[in-house]
Amino acid sequence: MASISLTIKLSEHLENFMSTEATIRNYILENYLFTEDQSALDSADSFLDKGILDSTGILEVIYFLEDEFGIKVEDTEMVPENLDSVNNIVAFIGRKRQ
């Protein structure tokens, strides 16, 4: 019975991760790359290095994350390690939700 519970929890975690990633990816694609083409953005692409977002764009993404995911991004958390790619944002949101 414990293995079934663990399997369900892992499945829910994976589904939540994938949903979070898709939400962030689609937001960036639609609002900054102006496309729905999923191949236009790799989850590891640096928003700053690729010229996708500037400092104003990062602030807009932060407002989106706070509204969409119900989190608060503190000033000290506004760093590339948390916000510079889809992967970084997904991991950051996961940590915030724990």
The 3-class SS string of 17-63 reads: HHHHHHHHHHHHHHHHHCCCCHHHCCCCCCCCCCCCCCHHHHHHHHH
> Which CATH number describes the domain made up of 16-97?
1.10.1200.10
In tens, the pLDDT along 22-72 reads: 999 999 999 999 999 999 999 999 999 999 999 999 999 999 999 999 999
Residue of higher predicted confidence among 5 and 52: 52
Q: In the chain, where are the structural domains located? A: 16-97
